[in-house]
Amino acid sequence: MRAGTSVLVTGGTGSFGRAFVAAVLAQPWLRRLVVFSRDECKQHEMAAVTPDPRLRFFLGDVRDPARLARAMDGVDFVVHAAAMKQIPACEANPFEAVQTNILGARHVIDAAIGCGVERVVALSTDKAVNPVNLYGATKLCAEKLFVQANGYASHGRTRFAVVRYGNVVGSRGSVVPVFLAQRARGRLTLTDAAMTRFWITLEQGTDFVLRCAEWMRGGEIFVPKIPSMRVLDVALALVPEAVIETVGIRPAEKLHESLLSEEESCHAVEYPDHFVIEPVGAQWNYLPRTDGKAPPPRFVYTSNQNDRWLTKEDLVTMIDAMAVAR
């Protein structure tokens, strides 16, 4: 980033937003950082513990296009992290999820183009790959919107990209806080002993987003190479003496997750620590990458067929580091 860059993060008082704010405030190039969210209480609490003059707070909802346009005035770089993420809530309130995750994405795109924002990075999830629930389906739609937005913005300077990763250790909605809350009773509920998930820390996620903002050309989906772990092993790492109660896979839930499908790998580029899914048939001036390598034929990147696995000790170390950071 060049010196004097102004940044805005939607959903800035959420788990990712707070970690992102801490990371960006440490950057020497920052001029102004705008936290855009709809929770005035969380904004007040965040301002009290982060008294930095470069940090600004803007109350608003991504469902409100005019408010987004006002907030993005003079902004160079946007990270779109606001979303409805709880799978049961999305299933029970489908149109609410559509309004926030799909229409909200459109509003972010329109505001960014209208305000001349240079770079926009949208956060996505492994649940957007071959989705089986509404949350994943809305995030898949959002991915498509952000990739194609480069065609609408081709006459200007705005470029859009997506970062897609797996479960964030310790974030709201993660199984880790659930297991820690159940620890007192000595009995943990588990859906399936074979279930696996991808895992990443908030700090790793924010670092990857900032790096992708530098790498992006417009239209890519960036996928980090991150480790997997069985959810059973997560439970035993947190509460070794616990009694495990198997309750079965919930509706709209997968046994294993995917970060890269077989179809996407046909137009992906592999690097040592990440993949880049390049746009197909880009209607804008996209320059394909030539410095990586093509994944193997019929390659898929799934949580149960991963060559990187977390140990119990790794997980405990990650959780302890997060507790110290907080």
Query: Which 3-state string (H, E, C) describes the chain?
Result: CCCCEEEEEECCCCHHHHHHHHHHHCCCCEEEEEEEECCHHHHHHHHHHCCCCCEEEEECCCCCHHHHHHHCCCCCEEEECCCCCCHHHHHHCHHHHHHHHHHHHHHHHHHHHHHCCCEEEEEEEHHHCCCCCHHHHHHHHHHHHHHHHHHHCCCCCCEEEEEEECEECCCCCCHHHHHHHHHHHCEEEECCCCCEEEEECHHHHHHHHHHHHHHCCCCCEEEECCCEEEHHHHHHHHCCCCEEEECCCCCCCCCCCEEECHHHHCCEEEECCEEEECCCCCCCCCCCCCCCECCCCCCCEECCCCCCECCHHHHHHHHHHHHHHC
Active-site annotation holder among 127, 139, 144, 225? 127
Structure tokens at 69: 């346009």
Query: Rounded to an integer, what distance in angstroms lies between the CA atom of residue 305 and that of residue 155?
Result: 42
Does the active-site annotation cover 127?
yes
Query: Rounded to an integer, what distance in angstroms lies between the CA atom of residue 35 and that of residue 18?
Result: 9
What is the set of active-site residues? 127
